[in-house]
Amino acid sequence: MNEFTPTPGGDSAELAQFGYAQALERRTGRFASFAVAFAFVSIATGLFTTYGAVLNSSGPVGIWTWPIAVVGQVAVAMVLGTLASRIPVTGYAYQWMSRLANPVLGWIIGWVSFSFLAVVVVAVDYTIASTVLPVLLNYTATAGITWLVTALVLLGQAVLVGISTRWSERVNNAAVSAELIGMVALTVLLLVVAAVRGDMDAGNLWSHGAVPAEGFWSFGDWNSAGPWMLGFLLGAFTIVGFESAANLAEETNDPERVVPRAMVTAVVASGVLGFLFLVAVTLAAGDPVELAKSGTPIADVIERTLGSAVSTLLLLMVVIAIFACGLVIMMTGVRLTWAMSRDERFPGWQQWNQISPRFHTPLKATLMYVVLAQLILAVFSSSQDALFTLFGAATLLPAVIYAATVVLYLVKRKDLPANGKFDLGGWEVPVLGIAVIWLVFELSLFRDASFKDAWLYVLVMVVLGALYLGFLLARRGVHGLSMPDMHSIDATLDRRVGTNQP
């Protein structure tokens, strides 16, 4: 089909074809959309948080799992981007599944997505209070102090999300710019200074560290993954959330074109820059066995190589990156809650489907979301084991969501109208093949016994969701959950082409 250029009000008119009136302010541009996707991925947050775990599970050579994970996630982002271009509506996977499969499956994927967003914001923000600030400010992170700091960070993010989308995006844009510049500068400085001082050790790139060589490369058995295989969790935990740009589709100008490109670009940029940084840190790591004992190995390498001042700047950048990451997660969770409530499908939807006339944001949904996050924090903050469950669930749930969405695309791709704005074209089959292989492999890693509690959390949330879904079905029936289908989109595109409308 011929490409057409949106006319003034065109985005709102397109939204009306899905049965919705424009309720949110449409201000998000190209960089802001990219910044939302990049901030959720947040390589500074992910690498700072998980690099030590990789050293202990897989040794330094575990970083070579990263480029494989990046290729897999780029393929996933391209598939999800195609759906985002065809159905540019707030609610992303919930909307895609509801409209292309059926509303019951859509509700399930929406609830799973909400379960992910509810825990990951707590897990991410807790990192500031438990790991970064104690080193930066040189204090002992007791359970009480860590809980208080995390609670304050959550509250600050909620204030921004609830009061002003414009200021939330400004803060995020600035944070992402700082993260991009900071990560590039740190990578270059590490490589140059370590080379000049003769502190580089290329052998680190192939070192097992303290991990035994026996069975190192094995796939594992029925309830455990091999040591090197566990290294893939570095990418699986970090390179997620890029689809958050799709959840601001109703606030983005020309979302059919802007959103999918923002998603793919964010993954590619995160993947390339993240790997270069990992190589630089590993080359300058010194003794990887000793480094693995540290709670902040990346900060230790920076301080030893570049000095305490640069190490302090790194920690400040990580704090900013984590805050922005949590901010975008909260914004995404609030938008999903509002989208499901707009369709009268979320518990307490009568309150959460409202847009504040003063702030033009889903203010009540924001209040609900931050209260829930504070409750999750209160339950989990007293136990390190419980917090590991949060991180495990935050890694597992996106893989489940991505797998379900890719399967949806496989089944329904022939029914999707071409819009000339983001199409896989001749790359569709190889991209789908890579995405499927990657997700099957990634999900197989979660058979490891260390994810038992994470699976338990997923089970509890699924049961709670099933109970409410049963209530909805008993009260309304399946037809009571129906949504507009894709025929209206076909008709709209056909009319535009038939009349040669620009």
Give, for all 502 residues of the chain, the pLDDT tens digit. Answer: 333 333 345 788 888 888 888 999 898 999 999 999 999 999 998 999 899 999 999 999 999 999 999 999 999 999 999 999 999 999 999 999 998 888 888 999 999 999 899 989 998 998 888 888 988 888 888 888 989 999 999 999 999 999 999 999 999 999 999 999 999 999 999 999 999 999 899 999 999 998 998 989 999 888 889 999 999 999 998 999 999 999 999 999 999 999 999 999 999 999 999 999 999 999 999 999 999 999 889 999 999 999 999 989 999 999 999 999 999 999 999 999 999 999 988 999 999 999 999 999 999 999 999 999 999 888 877 766 666 677 788 888 899 999 999 999 999 988 887 777 898 888 999 999 999 999 999 999 999 888 888 888 888 888 888 898 888 888 888 777 777 554 444 443 344 334 443 3
Q: Find the farthest-apart pair of alpha carbons in the chain and give their distance in angstroms, rounded.
A: 71
With CA atoms as reference, report the closest residue to 113 among 425, 337, 439, 302.
337
> Two tokens at 229?
């295989």
Contact between 271 and 109 (Cβ < 8 Å): no
Contact between 26 and 250 (Cβ < 8 Å): yes
Q: What is the DSSP letter of 214?
A: T
Amino acid sitting at position 8? P
- Report the percent of the chain where pLDDT is more than 70: 93
Helix (H) or strand (E) run with residue 221 in it = strand 220-221
- Geometric angle at alpha carbon 6, from 77 and 241, rounded to 5°: 20
| First-last CA distance in the chain | 12
Residue 459 — φ and ψ, nearest 5°?
-60, -45
pLDDT of residue 395: 84
With CA atoms as reference, report the closest residue to 365 among 357, 356, 374.
356
With CA atoms as reference, report the closest residue to 237 among 75, 43, 379.
43
pLDDT of residue 3: 32
Q: Kindly list the distances between the CA atom of residue 290 and the CA atoms of 130, 281, 297, in Å, as whole numbers in the listed order.
A: 21, 14, 9
Contact between 200 and 26 (Cβ < 8 Å): no
pLDDT of residue 387: 65
Helix (H) or strand (E) run with residue 215 in it = none
Contact between 66 and 205 (Cβ < 8 Å): no
Three-class SS state of 146: helix
User: How far apart (Å, rounded) are the C-alpha atoms in residues 303 and 292?
Assistant: 16
User: How far apart (Å, rounded) are the C-alpha atoms in residues 210 and 362?
Assistant: 50
HSE at residue 145, side-chain half, CA atoms within 13 A, is 11
Q: What are the start-end ranges of the H helices in 198-307?
A: 227-230, 232-238, 255-283, 288-291, 297-306
HSE at residue 35, side-chain half, CA atoms within 13 A, is 23
Q: What is the DSSP string of 9-53?
A: THHHHHHHTTT----S---B-HHHHHHHHHHHH-HHHHHHHHHHH
HSE at residue 288, side-chain half, CA atoms within 13 A, is 29
User: How far apart (Å, rounded) are the C-alpha atoms in residues 225 and 12?
Assistant: 48
Three-class SS state of 92: helix
pLDDT of residue 485: 52
Other beta carbons within 10 angstroms of residue 105's beta carbon come to 15
Tokens 């700091």, residue located:
149
pTM for this prediction: 0.90
pLDDT of residue 385: 66
Contact between 222 and 53 (Cβ < 8 Å): no
User: How far apart (Å, rounded) are the C-alpha atoms in residues 39 and 485?
Assistant: 32
Displacement of CA 410 from its chain's centroid (Å): 22
Helix 308-342 with 103-127: angle, nearest 10 deg: 160
Three-class SS state of 420: coil
> Two tokens at 395?
């890694």
Tokens 């914004």, residue located:
331
User: How far apart (Å, rounded) are the C-alpha atoms in residues 249 and 255?
Assistant: 6
With CA atoms as reference, report the closest residue to 387 among 143, 202, 156, 218.
143
Three-class SS state of 261: helix
